[in-house]
Structure 1
């Protein structure tokens, strides 16, 4: 008599079940083995998805105005140096890529002579996809950044007060917004681009176009087709984490010090009426912002998740504090009159007091180089990279209160060969 459970059928079942369990165990083991870990320089671990991740090195950033874009540009310039990437820099003595003219490939230094592609493009331009595609490789990652139009217009008013006719002849931002058409004259359209729907203009569209639902939907769809990612300046840390994931970069690739910000005493308080008037006056920018603010958070929920996002944002902020303690003598940004090394003085505009940084005096050479690049203002960094990439070209004259030679000496940077 056979013992219960020992039939040939039962033996086969046992063997099959054992094999299945073994396969489950092995698949779990290999999934753990293939899991990527990114360890920051503070030796803390962040677990990344197990899906293979390859760092993207061809990147085009549409640098919009008054949207924390100078800080993003600094991030991209540092990445370009760290990984020896080429940058599509403005030709000759320009500091912008033809802005506010619609971008042409000829505005990039060296393109007409060589027709070469570049890894990074991030200086100001008015977007023109067909011309940008001539300069950038086919696998380029395109992204940009938007800001709530309400604080953006106030910031533009203060920063461009002396340059924009619509702003210049009004007493303050609230007076301007009572009746914008009183100050915003069609004859001054080119000079007044900063006074209405400036983000819409930067993306290549008519900032004075009629607020038509079908037209707006068409533009939003085109932007979605042209750009892989749109960040939100009002959630800058969250944006940096999302960018890090999208590009498969390390934490130190996106860590930053805030650049081109202004002192709080130059901020003009908007009345409740002015807030509503901005939504109407800059309705194209307002709808652009609302649309991509929604897609921003939807992207986070679909890729990172809010819980993981919070962890990584905290990690980014800890790393930032570590670097500030290492690099800065004041531990924070200071006003223009308190910047000791004038080579680090940011460009000043309008009635804004653009803040900068003082570096510690006891830094070793390697740390000093890292800290210098993190606080280097946009114009200085553009000029430095231009000389590094084109050593035989005439150096850019930026009109800042120092000459290149003194900049080299004050920054203790090696002169590019």
Structure 2
């Protein structure tokens, strides 16, 4: 068995969950074992094909092989065998109680779809509202959630829709959850929100300046007149529960960031998205397949603004709280990378190759969906179930999840 583990060092070769053990081996080896009559001796009742993939070890020592097969042992509780499978990771159980606090324009929609895909296809329960936004101007409250009487007051598994952070309220619905969020450089996040939500439509600019420059030249003049103005200053802190009345209170800012540091289990960094997912995978004890992604969309050029060094300085001054927030969690992020150990780069390289394979297999690089003028969306070149699942975005999953929750628990 140790030979099998070494064949695909980056694939989880054993998973102890509900007294089942899952082992991934080449299909050809399964056939050989069957011919030798060994399968009856070890009682391997089922063979399930996995997706076809040219899997290769991150070290490059082994050639790729496909297809793979998944062998499932039945209940091992009465089996006195000491048979085991060596792995490159300590044994752990997948974590499935998750609160993901979405922040606007930080790759949070792509991230939310990862959690939604994972939970939906495992029949987990979701905190769900009438829309995919549970709360925005006010903090999250249980009243934002649709009633599900058949749950009989049981708690939920996952919250992944937009909801302003309120730890007490969220904990009542998902106790003992893993809390995760994502941050982006404040100058990039503000420019993205300003363009995507078309805040600029209320700006009276002069010739030779962009709407974003006009706003930053006199932000207090326009601030609360903007559409979704709450996001135009310290928007990430706002999503994480901080109130704008304290935007210039240094003590309050530092205290809020310290509280978040103690309460959040992982803060992803948008600029290091793949690295973030490697940390996420380890924290949640998930498989690489669970964290595969295709970006939900790329903002169109018509909704972008150039940023000079002078403009960036003004944005960072106006968003001082978000700068403090980002800098703090950027530091702690790299501490977590260091703590991951020497295998981090190997795992990252393997994941990137696997994710690129998915993109190449699924996406038509010559086409874009431009129905929404604000962003360019990728188009599938084939409608396989796997590609459809990975590309489906937050709103699409929310509709599926809401229908499922109403049908089963409504």
Same fold (TM over 0.5): yes
Write the mapping of 1:230-269 to structure 2, written as runs, cut at 5 A.
Answer: 230-264=267-301, 266-269=303-306
Structure-2 residue corresponding to 1:311: 346
Structure-1 residue corresponding to 2:240: 203
Q: Which range is displaced more, 197-206 or 376-385? A: 376-385
Structure-1 residue corresponding to 2:117: 78
Structure-2 residue corresponding to 1:370: 386
Q: Is the partner of 1:334 in helix, strand or coil?
A: strand
The one of 299, 311, 315 equivalent to 2:336 is 299
Is the Cα–Cα contact under 8 Å of residues 216 and 284 in structure 1 kept in the other structure? Answer: yes
Is the Cα–Cα contact under 8 Å of residues 246 and 253 in structure 2 kept in the other structure? Answer: no
Write the mapping of 1:11-410 to structure 2, written as runs, cut at 5 A.
Answer: 38=12, 42-45=54-57, 50-90=89-129, 93-110=130-147, 114-138=152-176, 140-162=177-199, 168-170=203-205, 171-185=210-224, 188=225, 191-264=228-301, 266-305=303-342, 308-328=343-363, 330-331=364-365, 334-337=368-371, 348=372, 353-361=374-382, 363=383, 368-391=384-407
- Counterpart Cα distance in 1 of 2:270 and 2:254: 22
Question: Residues 175, 385 of structure 1: CA spacing in aligned structure 2 closer, same or farther, 3 A cutoff?
Answer: same
Q: Aligned residue pairs: how many?
A: 336
Question: Residues 312, 281 of structure 1: CA spacing in aligned structure 2 closer, same or farther, 3 A cutoff?
Answer: same
Is the Cα–Cα contact under 8 Å of residues 204 and 214 in structure 2 kept in the other structure? Answer: no
- Counterpart Cα distance in 2 of 1:42 and 1:207: 51
Q: Is the partner of 2:407 in helix, strand or coil?
A: coil
TM-score, structure 2 normalization? 0.74
Which is strand-richer, 1 or 2? 2
Structure-2 residue corresponding to 1:5: none
Larger Rg: 1
RMSD: 3.0
Residue ranges of structure 1 left out of the alignment (5+ in a row): 1-31, 338-347, 395-417
Cα distance per residue 1:215-251 (max 9 Å; x no partner): 2221112101221111100110100111011111111
Q: Is the partner of 2:365 in helix, strand or coil?
A: coil
TM-score, structure 1 normalization? 0.73
Residue ranges of structure 2 left out of the alignment (5+ in a row): 1-5, 14-23, 25-52, 59-85
Structure-2 residue corresponding to 1:402: none
- Counterpart Cα distance in 1 of 2:395 and 2:104: 15
> How far has the Cα of 1:191 moved from its partner?
3.8
Cα distance per residue 1:171-218 (max 9 Å; x no partner): 521221111112124xx5894101111111111111342434332221
